[in-house]
Structure 1
Amino acid sequence: MSDLLESALNPKTVAIIGASENIHKIGGRPIFYMQKWGFKGTIYPINPSREEVQGLKSYPSLAALPEVPELVLIVVAGDKAVEAVEECAQRGVKSVVVIASGFGEVDEAGRATQQRMTDAARAKGMRIYGPNTHGLANFGTGAIAGFSTMFIECPPQDGPIAVLSQSGGMSAMVYGLLRQKGLGVRHVHATGNEADVTVSDMAWAIAHDPEVKLLLLYLENIANPEVLARTAEYARSRDLPIIAVKSGRSASGQKAATTHTGALANEDRTVDAFFKKHGIWRVRDPHAQALVAEAYLKGWRPAGNRLVVISNSGASCVMGADAAEDNGLQMATLAQSTQQAVAKSLPGFATTTNPIDITAALLSNSGLFSEVLPAVAQDPSADMFFINIPVAGAGYDVEAFARDTASFEKQTGKPVAVAAWQDSVADVFRRAGVATFENEGDAVGVLGQLAAHTRLMKEKSVVWHDLPSVQVPDGQHQYLSEAQSLALLSQHGVPVIQHILCRDEDEIRNAFATLGGPVAVKGCAAQIPHKTEYGLVTLNVRDADRAVQVFREQMQKMRAMKVDDPAVLVAAMAQGRHEFMIGARFDPVFGPVVMVGAGGKYVEALKDYAVILPPFSQEQVLAALNGLRMAPILEGIRGEPPVDVVALSAVTVAVGKIMFAAGSKIASLDLNPVMVGAQGEGAVVVDALIERSV
């Protein structure tokens, strides 16, 4: 942990500018919390109107303190907050938490004021948390530079979870949900507008706390993804799961985010790709984070995704199997020896295959759990277990069921989740330490997430060692011509359609003779990136005379448009099973971003594509293609052969390498269509457009 972040998370001295005697005011809460929950350092209230605040000597100003505090909490608002930040910087304070709002989240004037404040801090090496924040809380040290009411509603308990959030409200909510489940939380930090310190910065520091076993993030934007990527890599190395909520998934949500923390919204599919690449699991909301926390803290890391379902209801067995499929889990095929062992304990009408229906006989024989569970415990095909109890209570030995389940979990070391909607039943299982949920959807969803996230965290990072040297041709226009675009791609191993650039009628005839018919004839000029809109694309031209006629028409149109270097590109007509698109752009936050999916003229309407961040492997491209809506078509249906997705993935990797090597020199790249044949027939780029960075 850096010294500057240490000064905020584990300070020896804390001052509160705007300190209050009233513990229900923002300036009073931090003093109350630190005194109540074990802060060992020195607290300096600053309030010129009082000699004492909450039993502590009060000082009229920062200058009046006997020493320079490491951390200062600034509760005063507006210009006074800015002045306080500037004074803290001048006096050598290491970190300040600015509670006040009305800065970058409001308007341009607020952003300018926030920047002035930040510049003053950076000039002296001081870090700012906020503004517009609920503050920081480290319950491991008692350093609580925040005012959240939730710390009163749900009293703190130190534990292995860290909550880092741009939003103070969301940090409090996640904390409250976790505490209601009886889980201890060590860190609860809100970064607000992130004028300086971001959630990513905090995550890097907190990931190095050896007591933290689960890291929960709430983000409205990702300002410095390189830090978060480095954090995720380190977290994976020490088996620290990161679960993130990234709000602003919709256009409306993105707009709302800009008025909340002043965040600049990130494109959502790119965010998904970033999280996936770095082993961060994304969930929809804080409730989903709290739902899975206990399971992660048990240290479960499933070896696979094969599930065994056990219930005292046949219908619940069916529901469990449905939930397994919904969550990407396979129903395990139990060994014959396992089924025989189960059959010895169950009535003859019970089901011993998976799912296992122990039937209503459980009411008259409470020992069925203790007999059936050991029988399936060591089955090699079982990676995790789900026990669904739709009915229990009076007449059932629920205490025995819970003990047996807890013993079974300890014996196998594998994930075990229980669904019990009756509070009286669920409470017994929870007291026994068993992960218990209200319904099969939640229980099996958590198991599915554990399996998928474990697989994601174990995935090895891809490194590209053979990057090309990409040179983008000079020119005065924003785009390369199609001929230039195809040439650049071909130079770096991308298969492109056979084509010839022509500037007179003799060249057109020679091109047709060389390529044979039919051909495509297209106007080619850097000034006209979108040729179809101007009637500059003619397909299936079948003789040389027609090609010459089209050439004349297209040259006339381009001259009328005052194109400075008009030409016509004659290309072979490609054959293929399906049209795909491969796109790429240089994102100002994430760098190169590659897209692959359904192509052709309906690409914008269908939006069936995957986003991948370089570097990536062909196997990762294939996995992304399998997630498309069109994936079943790729395998071949109704007698059609499978599509050559291996060739498509190879082209995608080649494009990724071009973008990665070019850095910011290429703003965007659009290959559409990419014609892909049947398995073994390859892929070829038919049309390409490359945009220079300006």
Structure 2
Amino acid sequence: MSNLKYALNPRSIAIVGASDQINKIGGRPLHYLAKFGFQGKVYPINPARPEVQGVKSFAGLDALPEVPDMVCVAVAGDNAERTVIQCAEMGVKVALVMASGFSESDPVNGAAAEQRMIAAGRKTGMRIFGPNMQGLANFGSGAIASFSTMFLEMPPEDGPVAILSQSGAMSVVPYGLLRQRGIGVRHTHATGNDADVSVAELSTEVAKDPNVKLLLLYLEGMPDPHFLAETAAIARERNLPVLALKSGRTAAGAIAAASHTGALATEDRVVDAFFEHHGIYRVKDVEGLVESAELFLKGWKPKGRNLVAISNSGAVCVLSADAASNAGMPMAKLALATREGLGKILPSFATTTNPIDITAALLSNSGLFSDILPVIAKDAAADAFLIGVPVAGQGYDVPRFARDSAAFAAETGKPLVVAAPQPSVAQAFAEQGLATFATESAAIRALDGYLGQNELAARLAASGARSTYRAAESAAQEGVTLNEAESLAIAEKAGIPVAKYRLCQSAAECVEAWRAIGGPVAVKACSRDIPHKSEYGLVKLGVNSEAEISALFETMTTTVAEKKASFDGVIVAAMAKGQREFMIGAHRDPVFGPVVAVGDGGKYIEALGDVRLLIPPFSASDVERALRSLRIAPLLDGVRGDPPLDIAAFGDLAAKVGALMLDAKLKIASIDLNPVMVFARGEGCVIADALVVQQA
């Protein structure tokens, strides 16, 4: 049993700084351990009292009858540091440092003390959580080593959800929202500064708990993504959905995150790419973490996202269609037989197309739900359902509506959400086990999140196992820039289509190359010291005469010499004009390793930034999916008479760049292919320029 596992299931817990006052940091864990049924041994440490909260107290850790598995350090400053070091020397397996004043607020002395504690723990194998942590809580075992007030306000109930967070508040806010919805939570852990054990590392243990059916993560920094990759691999084996809220999406948010726990924000699009590659579904806010939770616990196996909306309000029908459209959920086109069947049941003024407006006739005929739902259940076009009941109550047989809806959900086995703003109406549906929300927008957001995670999991399952995490150990080293000819040679060897070219060392060779290639050519100086040649007039397009080519060779030779740069020759290349210019770029992120960017190319790439990032390895279909999420997506299939683009060829090219980044022998630090000329579908693509930087 590794020491980290004792953080989740300790057999004995000591609390240094134990207090009789349950509203003090040293009093709350002791109170919780008794209140919530911890069956292990509990040792309060308080030299001033013979007992604390009715439990025998000890003067110090050295007075205990055994070495505890876990010690909660609820004393401050130097006392905290001394206690942690003593724990390590005794052989304690896990120390929870609840004290603050370390690296999160004092980057000099506090950080140094923090490192001394970590060093002491590593000598003996003791794992340290915190400092500046709220605590760990396993409601399955009653090991509530936490001082959060939330567990007094919202009594716990063991359940299938686990919440891990660096922030104390963000470990219990989702907990509280889930408990309000009647959802049980097994794990609620807040790790603070993550100086030793991080949220990511702890998640590798929590993901193995067979009782956990949904894992929610709140992250501010990601210093050890290899643990998240490991967690994701475990989760895929168990079909365990993992949802993550990563703060610091904006520049202001990144600064705030760094000041909060000393976390270093990473480039946000790389985080998106990393999560998607490993099957972790990223949400935008706290609501995104909890809104879909109930849906993940239903055991559905969704096939698509075509929605059928049913309501007794025309307005709700329209609003549901709008919300579904914004979420990329098409309204299912009902079969003629379904519409005809509904027409025989509903009043003539009702709507039998989707969304289905059953009108206020529901007030006088409580059987409408039970009559129409079986008809709709037979329609194969529907993948998911929304039932909206904006107004009901007195005069309506709401319990019957709820029972009929629950029977319908059981019959179809398809995702179903309910929108009911009236608490009494919502309660009736919730009591039937239906996921109920206050508005149709909230219901569809939850459904979208649930379907989105399932779609991500299905894509990963279809594409096979993900690669293991590859750190960028050499990312910080200064690289060696190759000249264009050397860069193009690497691309050619990898099977990347390159426009025909020759590297020439004289004007005569340039003329010979022009004649061999035929037609107008591009003439470019080749120098490893001048990677961006056009800025210095070292690129000339459409050259088509012997005199001009000879003159350009002399001019470019002189210009390069004036720049005191190396001169590697002049490239004469065939002109290539694609239907659209794209780009492919790759580099080694210092945290996440190889990353590949694909998207719109040309000279405005920095200004427009219409790109997506991918973590290799990936497939051509992954590239196409990325491109279809960009602003240029409508152009891919051709507009205004233009033919569709050969996106399959571009995707294959991008996948080869990903493979280059994974080739350890090549030691490539970065690749820049811009522009990539993409032709009409079936005609391929070609690169006209390349810039490769190799690790030193």
Normalising by structure 2, we get a TM-score of 0.95
Q: Judge conservation of contact 2:479–2:669 (CA < 8 Å) in 1.
A: no
CA distance in 1, matches of 2:108, 2:602: 42
Q: Judge conservation of contact 1:608–1:628 (CA < 8 Å) in 2.
A: yes
Q: Judge conservation of contact 1:92–1:124 (CA < 8 Å) in 2.
A: yes
- The residue type paired with residue 680 of structure 1 is G
Q: Deviations over 1:281-304 (max 9, x none)?
A: 111122221211111112223122
CA distance in 2, matches of 1:573, 1:626: 28
2:372 maps to 1:361: no
How far is the alpha carbon of 1:463 from its aligned partner? Answer: 6.2
How far is the alpha carbon of 1:378 from its aligned partner? Answer: 2.8
Q: Judge conservation of contact 1:351–1:358 (CA < 8 Å) in 2.
A: yes
* Match in the other structure for 2:226: 226
Q: Would the alpha carbon gap of residues 75 and 244 (structure 1) be closer, same or farther in structure 2, given more than 3 Å must change?
A: same
* Match in the other structure for 2:88: 89
* Match in the other structure for 2:285: 285
Q: Would the alpha carbon gap of residues 607 and 109 (structure 1) be closer, same or farther in structure 2, given more than 3 Å must change?
A: farther
Q: Judge conservation of contact 2:257–2:265 (CA < 8 Å) in 1.
A: yes
In terms of mean alpha carbon deviation, does 656-665 or 155-164 score higher?
656-665
Q: Would the alpha carbon gap of residues 346 and 281 (structure 1) be closer, same or farther in structure 2, given more than 3 Å must change?
A: same
How far is the alpha carbon of 1:566 from its aligned partner? Answer: 4.1
How far is the alpha carbon of 1:267 from its aligned partner? Answer: 1.6
Q: Would the alpha carbon gap of residues 545 and 105 (structure 1) be closer, same or farther in structure 2, given more than 3 Å must change?
A: farther
Q: Judge conservation of contact 2:309–2:356 (CA < 8 Å) in 1.
A: yes
Which of 560, 563, 573 is the matching residue for 1:561? 563
Q: Deviations over 1:187-238 (max 9, x none)?
A: 0001111112122222221112111111111011223222222222221222
Q: Deviations over 1:425-466 (max 9, x none)?
A: 22222233221111111112222222222121122244699x
Q: Deviations over 1:594-634 (max 9, x none)?
A: 11000000001111111111111111111111111101011
CA distance in 2, matches of 1:193, 1:663: 37
* Match in the other structure for 1:118: 118
How far is the alpha carbon of 1:134 from its aligned partner? Answer: 0.7
How far is the alpha carbon of 1:640 from its aligned partner? Answer: 0.6
- The residue type paired with residue 500 of structure 2 is Q
CA distance in 2, matches of 1:662, 1:671: 20
Q: Judge conservation of contact 1:599–1:672 (CA < 8 Å) in 2.
A: yes
How far is the alpha carbon of 1:502 from its aligned partner? Answer: 2.0
CA distance in 2, matches of 1:664, 1:346: 69
2:59 maps to 1:60: yes
Q: Judge conservation of contact 1:19–1:46 (CA < 8 Å) in 2.
A: yes
Q: Would the alpha carbon gap of residues 596 and 108 (structure 1) be closer, same or farther in structure 2, given more than 3 Å must change?
A: farther
CA distance in 1, matches of 2:76, 2:535: 55
Q: Judge conservation of contact 1:103–1:113 (CA < 8 Å) in 2.
A: yes
Q: Judge conservation of contact 1:310–1:356 (CA < 8 Å) in 2.
A: yes
How far is the alpha carbon of 1:511 from its aligned partner? Answer: 2.1
Map 1:19-34 onto structure 2 (within 5 A): 19-34=18-33
2:145 maps to 1:141: no
Map 1:180-195 onto structure 2 (within 5 A): 180-195=180-195
* Match in the other structure for 2:392: 392
Q: Would the alpha carbon gap of residues 103 and 571 (structure 1) be closer, same or farther in structure 2, given more than 3 Å must change?
A: farther
CA distance in 2, matches of 1:666, 1:109: 40
CA distance in 2, matches of 1:682, 1:612: 21
Q: Judge conservation of contact 2:288–2:449 (CA < 8 Å) in 1.
A: no
How far is the alpha carbon of 1:101 from its aligned partner? Answer: 2.2
- The residue type paired with residue 27 of structure 2 is G
How far is the alpha carbon of 1:664 from its aligned partner? Answer: 8.6
CA distance in 2, matches of 1:26, 1:464: 43
* Match in the other structure for 2:659: 657
Q: Would the alpha carbon gap of residues 480 and 191 (structure 1) be closer, same or farther in structure 2, given more than 3 Å must change?
A: same
2:536 maps to 1:534: yes
* 3-state SS of paired residue (1:371): helix
CA distance in 2, matches of 1:666, 1:119: 35
CA distance in 1, matches of 2:300, 2:120: 47
* Match in the other structure for 1:468: none
CA distance in 2, matches of 1:537, 1:501: 14
Q: Judge conservation of contact 1:426–1:436 (CA < 8 Å) in 2.
A: yes
- The residue type paired with residue 505 of structure 2 is R
- The residue type paired with residue 291 of structure 2 is L
* 3-state SS of paired residue (1:611): strand
CA distance in 1, matches of 2:511, 2:447: 65
* Match in the other structure for 1:497: 499
CA distance in 2, matches of 1:80, 1:140: 32
Q: Judge conservation of contact 2:277–2:466 (CA < 8 Å) in 1.
A: no
CA distance in 1, matches of 2:396, 2:49: 64
* Match in the other structure for 1:543: 545
Q: Deviations over 1:129-186 (max 9, x none)?
A: 1111111001111111111111111111111111011111100111111112221111
CA distance in 2, matches of 1:566, 1:59: 78
* Match in the other structure for 1:248: 248
In terms of mean alpha carbon deviation, does 273-282 or 111-120 score higher?
111-120
CA distance in 1, matches of 2:623, 2:138: 42
* Match in the other structure for 2:585: 583
* Match in the other structure for 1:101: 100
How far is the alpha carbon of 1:318 from its aligned partner? Answer: 2.1
- The residue type paired with residue 276 of structure 2 is K
Q: Judge conservation of contact 1:301–1:450 (CA < 8 Å) in 2.
A: no
- The residue type paired with residue 653 of structure 1 is A
Map 1:296-445 onto structure 2 (within 5 A): 296-445=296-445
CA distance in 1, matches of 2:324, 2:483: 51
Aligned length: 685
* Match in the other structure for 2:470: none
- The residue type paired with residue 392 of structure 1 is A
Q: Judge conservation of contact 1:462–1:616 (CA < 8 Å) in 2.
A: no
* 3-state SS of paired residue (1:50): coil
How far is the alpha carbon of 1:325 from its aligned partner? Answer: 1.6
CA distance in 2, matches of 1:38, 1:389: 42
CA distance in 1, matches of 2:614, 2:555: 41
In terms of mean alpha carbon deviation, does 38-47 or 219-228 score higher?
219-228
The percentage of aligned residue pairs carrying the same residue is 55
How far is the alpha carbon of 1:345 from its aligned partner? Answer: 1.4
Q: Judge conservation of contact 2:522–2:572 (CA < 8 Å) in 1.
A: yes
How far is the alpha carbon of 1:476 from its aligned partner? Answer: 10
Q: Where do 5+ consecutive residues of structure 1 fail to align?
A: 466-471
Q: Would the alpha carbon gap of residues 387 and 65 (structure 1) be closer, same or farther in structure 2, given more than 3 Å must change?
A: same
2:7 maps to 1:5: no
CA distance in 2, matches of 1:506, 1:110: 69
2:171 maps to 1:171: yes
- The residue type paired with residue 440 of structure 2 is E
How far is the alpha carbon of 1:36 from its aligned partner? Answer: 0.8
Map 1:453-468 onto structure 2 (within 5 A): 453-459=453-459, 460=461, 461-462=463-464
How far is the alpha carbon of 1:688 from its aligned partner? Answer: 1.0
* Match in the other structure for 2:471: none
- The residue type paired with residue 222 of structure 1 is M
